[in-house]
């Protein structure tokens, strides 16, 4: 075992000592059939933003929009490349490109390797840096720098050309599993508009009760706040001062909300905003997570988080037809070792 202690309220080990899927395990054949049963109209909705949105890097200085460029053949860019240069009788023209992309820039999945914590998993009174199910920083999730207690040491030997690599909990686990099942939409934007509002247990339950929304074990919980729609309206020139003060956002400090997430059995949370939860979280004294919902979902329960999904068109259609459920197909890239991934979710009704 990689751990003797597990965090309070965690499910480490419940799906096996080496589990790397967490609550995604609950998306099985039954959930796929439940999702398929929601397909009645034969209509599909793309739930992804264009991957060059939000635009720029003002919302997150580390993350930049994708940059496309050609591949090269003997030093020549392969866009509108005449194959007659290879065979003078060829009539073919070839274009071939590549992309430099921040995997969590736009519509995305967070894998379980995205957020860990300092926690005494060994039960010896010393905190280790661990992730879901006790997988370890440097041993399993590797990067070019080892961050000790205030010290930095050179890298931990990643795989070949990679400067970082999640040997456990990487996004490819979700891709192989499929990430297809039943989605359930909670339309916060319809109730609260563009108002910046902290959504805790009481607010979420009130909206679900008024709208007649129920979620069951293994469902994808999908939250529309209107944030992605505000991003689209800004047309690639986001105003962070406006966006950081707009639309509903989950209150990760609400203990009753976190308890409901635990008890509900939901397999994933997908939202159209930047981090699902308010960041920074409401202030509290003492040792704490500054991303308490990420901590609860990714670190303790193995619930992946989807961010910056585009939900307007789906939400409008569901509202017009008195529905809240749909089939969701949302596999990430099968990119071994990645801690996040772009995704083009498709809702089918």
DSSP 32-92: HHHHHHT--S--EEE-B--TT-S-SSSS-TT----EEEE-EETTEE-SSEEGGGTSTT---
Long-range pairs for 151-160: beta carbons < 8 A, 24 or more residues apart: 159/337
Q: At what angle do helices 255-264 and 201-211 cross, to 10 degrees?
A: 50
Question: What's the confidence (pLDDT) of residue 156?
Answer: 62
CB within 8 Å of 293: residues ≥ 6 apart: 250, 252, 258, 261, 276, 277, 281
Does residue 67 contact residue 105 with C-beta atoms inside 8 Å? no
CA–CA distance from 218 to each of 21, 24, 181 (Å)?
13, 8, 8
Determine which helix (DSSP H) or strand (DSSP E) holds 279, and give its type and residue range. none
Question: What's the confidence (pLDDT) of residue 153?
Answer: 74
| Separation of alpha carbons 87 and 244, rounded Å | 56
Question: What's the confidence (pLDDT) of residue 300?
Answer: 98
- Interval 289-340: pLDDT, tens: 999 999 999 999 999 999 999 999 999 999 999 999 999 999 999 999 999 9
Q: What is the mean pLDDT of the chain?
A: 96
Q: With CA atoms as reference, report the closest residue to 266 among 211, 304, 299.
A: 304
Tokens of 106: 């736009």
Residue in the structure block whose two tokens are 């931990």? 156
Given a cut of 70, the residues of the chain with pLDDT beneath it are: 149-150, 155-159
Question: What's the confidence (pLDDT) of residue 155?
Answer: 66
DSSP 133: G
Question: What's the confidence (pLDDT) of residue 346?
Answer: 98
Question: What's the confidence (pLDDT) of residue 34?
Answer: 98
Question: What's the confidence (pLDDT) of residue 264?
Answer: 98
- Interval 248-261: pLDDT, tens: 999 999 999 999 99
Question: What's the confidence (pLDDT) of residue 152?
Answer: 74
C-alpha of 278 from chain center: 15
Question: What's the confidence (pLDDT) of residue 147?
Answer: 87
DSSP 181-240: EEEEEEEHHHHHTT--EEE-HHHHHHHHHHHT----TTPEEEEE-SHHHHHHHTTT---H
Helix, strand, coil in percent for the chain, rounding step 5:
25, 25, 55
Determine which helix (DSSP H) or strand (DSSP E) holds 165, and give its type and residue range. strand 165-166
Question: What's the confidence (pLDDT) of residue 1?
Answer: 87
CB within 8 Å of 11: residues ≥ 6 apart: 22, 23, 300, 301, 302
Question: What's the confidence (pLDDT) of residue 148?
Answer: 76
Question: What's the confidence (pLDDT) of residue 128?
Answer: 95
CA pseudo-torsion sign 44, 48, 52, 56: positive
Cβ count within 10 A of residue 337 = 19
| Separation of alpha carbons 284 and 298, rounded Å | 21
């Amino acid at each position: 075992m990689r751990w003797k202690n597990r965090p309070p309220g965690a499910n480490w080990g419940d799906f096996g000592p080496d589990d790397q899927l967490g609550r995604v395990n609950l998306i099985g054949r039954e959930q796929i059939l439940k999702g398929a049963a929601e397909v009645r109209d034969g209509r599909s909705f793309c739930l992804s933003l264009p991957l060059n949105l939000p635009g720029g890097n003002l919302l997150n200085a580390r993350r930049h929009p994708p940059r496309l460029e050609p591949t090269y053949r003997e030093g020549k860019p392969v866009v509108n490349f005449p194959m007659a240069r290879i065979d003078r009788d060829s009539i073919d023209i070839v274009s071939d490109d590549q992309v430099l992309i921040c995997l969590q820039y736009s519509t995305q999945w967070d894998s379980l390797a995205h957020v860990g914590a300092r926690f005494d998993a060994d039960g010896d009174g010393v905190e280790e840096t661990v992730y879901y199910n006790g997988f370890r920083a440097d041993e399993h999730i590797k990067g070019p720098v080892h961050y000790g207690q205030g010290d930095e040491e050179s890298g931990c030997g990643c795989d070949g050309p990679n400067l970082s690599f999640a040997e456990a909990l990487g996004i490819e686990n979700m891709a192989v599993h499929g990430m297809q099942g039943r989605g359930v939409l909670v339309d916060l934007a319809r109730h609260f508009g563009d108002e910046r509002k902290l959504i805790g247990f009481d607010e979420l339950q009130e909206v679900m009760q008024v709208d007649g929304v129920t979620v069951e074990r293994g469902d994808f919980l999908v939250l529309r706040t209107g944030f992605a729609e505000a991003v689209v309206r800004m047309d690639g020139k986001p105003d962070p001062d406006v966006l950081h003060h707009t639309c509903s956002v989950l209150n990760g400090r609400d203990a009753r909300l976190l308890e409901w997430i635990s008890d509900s059995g939901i397999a994933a949370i997908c939202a159209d905003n930047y981090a699902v939860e308010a960041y920074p979280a409401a202030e509290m004294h003492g040792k704490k997570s500054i991303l308490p919902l990420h901590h609860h979902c990714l670190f303790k329960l193995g619930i992946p988080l989807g961010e910056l999904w585009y939900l307007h068109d789906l939400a409008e259609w569901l509202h017009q037809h008195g529905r809240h459920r749909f089939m969701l197909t949302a596999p990430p890239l099968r990119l071994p070792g990645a801690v996040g991934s772009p995704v083009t979710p498709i809702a089918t009704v």
